[in-house]
Chains A and B, each alone.
Chain A
Amino acid sequence: MLVYPQLTTGALSQFPIEKRWRQRTVVNTAADGSVIKLADPNGALTEWQLQYAGLSDGELAALQQFFAAAEGTLNGFTFLDPAGNLFAWSDHLENVVWDLGSFLAKTGGVADPAGGTNGWLLTNSGTGAQASRRLWRRREDTYSASARGSKRPRQPP
């Protein structure tokens, strides 16, 4: 499937980014002012308005090629929400999207930098380095991420 192009920085768009959510609800207002509502999930729609300035020739060419390949509004494509959380479940290491190293033990409910208790404590009981990672990403895209953590000294046996 066609994929919306990234800029050379890896960003999908420039600021400002505008996003519009549309839901559809059927509303019947009675004479006494009471209301009966029916949700229509199939009528939901999300749209983004992206604006670009100061593009390089290569970035402009990529957008032109994409527009030609999509044939305007005709063809569908994959689009990563530039305002969305593409790192979902980052505070739920028990979720199946995570692949933890075999010697890593995890403890939830730890104080986080935002003042909550969504942090996790990872304890490496092995002698080598261990990794935890998400299972899925698109190979063609460039991602960036950061993590905040601290190293605790090993307790003497």
Chain B
Amino acid sequence: MAAIEQFFADNQGQFGSFAFTDPWDGTVHPDCSLASDELDLTWQAEMRGTTSLTVVENRG
């Protein structure tokens, strides 16, 4: 959870870009961004949390 928070902050939401490896086929997409400026995190208990992110590939 902390790593995702830090990644979101480092990217300033959807502003930053990064390389993303497709977990389905291992293809590396060199220019991707987060799709949203919002990140919701929920901690249900110690060391147990949930969140979700959407990654989009940039064009142009």
Any chain B CB within 8 A of the CB of A68? Answer: no
Residue of B nearest to A30 (CB): B60
Known contacts A15-B45, A19-B41, then 17 further A-B pairs from the complex at CB < 8 Å, ordered by chain A residue:
A15-B46, A16-B42, A18-B43, A19-B42, A19-B43, A21-B38, A21-B41, A24-B13, A24-B37, A25-B15, A25-B37, A34-B59, A35-B58, A37-B15, A39-B12, A83-B43, A83-B49
What bracket does the count of chain A residues touching chain B fall in? 20 to 34
Total B residues in contact with A, Cβ cutoff 8 Å: 24
Chain A residues with CB under 8 Å of chain B are 15-25, 27, 30, 32-35, 37-39, 41, 44, 83, 85
**Interface of B: prevailing SS:** mixed
**Interface of A: prevailing SS:** strand
